[in-house]
């Protein structure tokens, strides 16, 4: 025998495995379903909707095939569709007209702004569906940042004060969950205090507890019209994507300030963060499958490189496996239809 040859296998497979053949429960569809550890249901889905001014307007977003900016009347119809499909909640994001933007994002304090008009209309037509609104300033600022810009710096405390005031207006319009994505220090506690003082003790807060400085937000910025406006980057307030322990500290702080739910954004590149947060805090935990994740799956599917539907479902089940209680995803209506079908 050559000195580099392996010794001849003399043991049987049963001797090697101790008669534990793990393929036994994979042999048929029924047995695979019987032992499946994680399941995706329509109850896990939150559908983000993009809003625009006007009537009967439906504008496809080039970087997000199949996703549209909708005028309020059409957003109401999509919310009705979501309710029929059993989707528990929608999350709204506005494309604000350039004429309404300024350095302070002051349009967010307009009780009749686009986001609040949509909330009132959806809640009136579909009272049974949950509405999640974002208190961040980036759709409303002329510079595309999530906060008030002073001398080239995003000022934390002024931004927090404005975000908290906007949260009260959103709650008054009918928002069920305030989900501030700005990542300013102290925003959760300030929002909780403001909501409680205004009599909105039952309005919940979903904290973007760990929002990372990521390259995956590009199509979203096209959708809300901030892509060409952003000056610099958001690294002074979003979390460095190299950090994991920092995500724990951010989440712990938000929970101590009164967050009811926590979110990780983006999603798939941060499954390890989802798992750490769920293990550490045992709180309702969500992920946002962001625009770049959606666009990659859609682009690959349109080019015939992957099976888009299978990749979509696999990606969403990965969130459940990592510990998510729910997922914000642009795939929500399609997935709901597939699950029902």
Q: Catalytic residue numbers? A: 211, 265
| Pairing, β 89-94 against β 204-211 | unpaired
CB 291 within 8 A of CB 220: yes
Give dist(CA 210, CA 254) in Å, integer. Answer: 10
Neighbours of 8 (CB within 10 A): 6
Q: Which residue blocks in the chain are alpha helix, DSSP H?
A: 13-17, 29-34, 72-85, 114-125, 156-173, 187-197, 218-224, 245-257, 271-281, 291-302, 308-322, 332-340
Give bridge partners of residue 92 from the DSSP assignment. 49, 133
Give dist(CA 209, CA 215) in Å, integer. Answer: 18
H, E, C per residue of 158-212: HHHHHHHHHHHHHHHHCCCEECCCCCCCCHHHHHHHHHHHCCCCCCEEEEEEEEE
In this structure, what are the phi and psi dihedrals at residue 47, rounded to the nearest 5 degrees? Answer: -105, 115
CB 126 within 8 A of CB 79: yes
| Pairing, β 148-150 against β 177-178 | unpaired
**Tokens 């724990």 label which residue?**
248
Determine the length of the chain: 341
Give dist(CA 147, CA 166) in Å, integer. Answer: 13
State which H helix or E strand residue 48 sits in: strand 45-51
Q: What is the DSSP letter of 44?
A: G
């Amino acid at each position: 025998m050559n000195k580099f040859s392996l010794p001849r296998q003399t043991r049987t497979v049963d001797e090697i495995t101790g008669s534990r053949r793990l393929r036994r429960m994979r042999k048929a569809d029924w047995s695979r379903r019987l032992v499946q550890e994680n399941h995706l249901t329509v109850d896990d889905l939150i559908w983000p909707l993009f809003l625009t001014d006007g009537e009967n307007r439906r504008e496809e977003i080039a970087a997000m095939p199949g996703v549209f900016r909708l005028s309020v009347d059409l957003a109401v119809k999509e919310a009705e569709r979501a309710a029929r499909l059993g989707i528990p909640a929608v999350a709204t994001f506005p494309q604000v007209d350039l004429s309404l933007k300024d350095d302070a994002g002051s349009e967010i304090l307009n009780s009749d702004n686009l986001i609040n008009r949509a909330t009132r209309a959806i809640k009136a037509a579909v009272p049974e569906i949950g509405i999640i609104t974002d208190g961040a300033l980036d759709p409303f600022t002329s510079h595309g940042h999530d906060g008030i810009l002073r001398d080239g710096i995003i000022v934390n405390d002024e931004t927090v004060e404005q975000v908290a005031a906007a949260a009260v207006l959103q709650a008054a319009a009918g928002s069920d969950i305030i989900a501030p994505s700005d990542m300013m220090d102290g925003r959760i506690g300030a929002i909780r205090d403001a909501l409680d003082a205004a009599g909105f003790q039952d309005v919940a807060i979903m904290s973007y507890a760990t929002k990372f400085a990521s390259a995956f937000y590009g199509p979203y910025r096209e959708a809300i019209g901030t892509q060409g406006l952003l000056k610099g980057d958001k690294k002074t307030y979003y979390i460095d994507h190299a950090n994991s322990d920092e995500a724990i500290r951010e989440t712990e702080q938000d929970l101590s300030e009164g967050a009811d739910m926590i979110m990780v954004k983006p999603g798939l590149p941060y499954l390890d963060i989802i798992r750490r947060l769920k293990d550490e805090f045992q709180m309702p935990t969500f992920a946002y499958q962001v625009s770049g994740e959606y666009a990659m799956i859609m682009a690959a599917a349109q080019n015939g490189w992957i099976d888009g539907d299978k990749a979509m479902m696999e990606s969403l089940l990965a969130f459940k496996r990592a510990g998510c209680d729910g997922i914000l995803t642009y795939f929500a209506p399609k997935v709901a239809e597939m699950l029902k079908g």
